[in-house]
């Protein structure tokens, strides 16, 4: 879906003259009520209310907050997905020593993480991601902001730690058109999930390389790997640190991709591309764990994140469920903080047979609908990404399913998305 900058034409009729007025781009997104009036006794003419989508603006997330202890970080404006493949880790993760001690001491000290809720946490005015998965695990952080490059180059910038103890623990970023967003996006050759989005730009640290980056463009599920200096790790020009957070920057337009570390004047990618047929994208910041102790590697890594900046950005609505997961034990209902706006979709990850949802308190049921995937011959043991329309005004959803050969049915990380803003 393409959301364009609003230009509003208000036509005011004075006798036989027609004057067209173009309002500036700083107009608010609230309905506009305009009155046309003559200096006579004629009745006032009111033009209709006009709803204006929010125009692009800059977005900045500083993760401010200094709790006394490592505290799960939750935000109404960020969607958080945490996935672990092995069935015995669906409710509690494999333990790891996550950086910052029990009183938010320096990253040289640690605290234990096994709960899903603790994998994204806050200390000292920034957040961390920490996950350990001997099968496969990932975390995706998604702000309710799309990068907008409809008028030329746009910028995504963030600060991040640079220590990397395992080649099997890495970070990435997906930029995906709104209607193609894939909750569990993953490169198709990896051993879990269901592949890449239909269309996307992907910045990837590289699973088994040193701390270096490459980039790819996906068009209709086909990958185009971009020219890069992938063989140059950042520890060639900086001292990796778990405490210092360095700036990473992506510059994107329809015809050019540039990614690197501007403070060091180093760019892994700086290349023209064939024009993209989309101009706005959902942003997913990823952290991956793939048996991080294997082959003599140093174990799971804590990544520190701060100062996420997007210019320009277009907001959209995210409504998060009141529960992390639903299964056959306990209530199968989730509630949302507000009714679904117009043009909403229900977004979730799920596993099991005959997965269904009800939007009318169980009076009717419908099959859960997959988001577009490269390959629909899904393995039973893989979670899938779901994306389906939800009626406007819906504020609770019921779920049901059938067990599969390896375990029970399971829905998790459930939210409502809409391109409309409140």
Q: What is the pLDDT of residue 10?
A: 33
Domain boundaries, position 217: 58-315
- CATH label of the domain that carries residue 337: 2.60.120
**92 with 47, same domain?**
no
pTM for the predicted model, two decimal places: 0.86
3-state secondary structure the chain: CCCCCCCCEEEEEECCEEEEEECCCCCCCCCECCEECCCCCCCCEECCCECCCCCCEEEEECCCCCCCCCEECCCCCEEEEEEECCHHHCCCCCCEEEECCCCCCCCCCEEEECCHHHCEEEECCEEEEECCCCCCEEEEEEECEEEECCCCCEEEEEEECCCCCCCCEEEEEEEECHHHCCCCCCCCCCCCCCCCCCCEEEEECCCCCCCCCEEEEEECCEEEECCCCCCCCHHHCCCCCCCCCEEEEEEECCCEEEEEEHHHCEEEEEEECCCCCCCEEEEEEEEEECCCCHHHCCCCCEEEEEEEEEEEEEECEEEEECCCEEECCCCCEEEECCCCCCCCEEEEEEECEEEEEECCCCCCCEECCECCCCCCCCCCCCCEEEEEECCCCCCEEEEEEECECCECCEEEEEEEEECCCC
- Residue segments in the chain with a per-residue pLDDT below the cut of 50: 1-52
**250 with 393, same domain?**
no
**222 with 239, same domain?**
yes
**324 with 276, same domain?**
no
Q: What is the pLDDT of residue 210?
A: 79
Domain count, the chain: 3
**248 with 364, same domain?**
no
Q: What is the pLDDT of residue 376?
A: 66
- CATH label of the domain that carries residue 210: 2.60.120.200
Tell me: the pLDDT tens digits for 174-183?
Answer: 999 999 999 9
Using the 3D structure, point to which of 283, 298, 315 is the last residue of a domain. 315
**251 with 359, same domain?**
no
Tell me: the pLDDT tens digits for 118-149?
Answer: 999 999 999 999 999 999 999 999 999 999 99
Q: What is the pLDDT of residue 327?
A: 96
């Amino acid at each position: 879906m393409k959301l364009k900058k609003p230009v509003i034409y208000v036509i005011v009729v004075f006798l036989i003259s027609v004057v067209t007025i173009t309002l500036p781009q700083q107009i608010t997104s609230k309905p506009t009520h305009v009155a046309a009036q003559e200096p006579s006794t004629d009745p006032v003419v009111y033009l209709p209310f006009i709803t204006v989508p929010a125009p692009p603006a800059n977005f900045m997330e500083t993760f401010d907050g200094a709790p006394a202890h490592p505290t799960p970080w939750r935000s109404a404006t960020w969607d958080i997905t945490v996935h672990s493949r092995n069935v015995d880790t669906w409710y509690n993760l494999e333990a790891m020593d996550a950086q910052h001690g029990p009183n938010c001491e320096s990253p040289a000290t640690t605290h234990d993480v096994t709960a899903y809720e603790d994998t994204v946490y806050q200390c000292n005015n920034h957040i961390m991601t920490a996950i350990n998965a001997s099968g496969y695990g990932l975390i995706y952080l998604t702000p309710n902001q799309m990068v907008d490059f409809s008028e030329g180059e746009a910028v995504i910038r963030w600060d991040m730690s640079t220590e990397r103890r395992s080649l099997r623990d890495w970070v990435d970023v997906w930029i995906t058109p709104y209607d193609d967003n894939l909750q569990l996006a993953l490169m198709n050759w990896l051993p879990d999930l269901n592949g890449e989005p239909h269309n996307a730009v992907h910045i990837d640290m590289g699973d088994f390389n040193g701390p270096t980056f490459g980039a790819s463009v996906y068009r209709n599920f086909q990958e185009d790997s971009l020219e890069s200096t992938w063989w140059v790790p950042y520890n060639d020009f900086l001292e990796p640190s778990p405490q210092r957070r360095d700036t990473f920057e992506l510059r994107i337009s329809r015809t050019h991709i540039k990614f690197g570390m501007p403070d060091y004047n180093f760019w892994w990618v700086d290349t023209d591309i064939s024009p993209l047929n989309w101009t706005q994208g959902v942003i997913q910041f990823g952290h991956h764990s793939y048996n991080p102790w294997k082959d003599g590697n140093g174990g799971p890594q804590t990544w520190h994140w701060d100062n996420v900046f997007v210019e320009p950005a277009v907001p959209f609505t995210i409504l998060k469920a009141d529960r992390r997961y639903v299964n056959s034990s306990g209530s199968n209902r989730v509630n949302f903080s507000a009714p679904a706006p117009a043009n909403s979709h229900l977004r979730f990850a799920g596993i099991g047979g005959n997965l269904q949802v009800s939007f009318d308190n169980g009076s009717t049921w419908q099959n859960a609908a997959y988001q577009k995937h490269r390959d629909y011959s899904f393995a039973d043991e893989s979670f899938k990404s779901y994306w389906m329309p939800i009626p406007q005004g819906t504020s609770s959803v019921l779920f049901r399913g059938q067990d599969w050969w390896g375990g029970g049915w399971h829905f998790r990380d459930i939210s409502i998305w809409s391109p409309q803003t409140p």
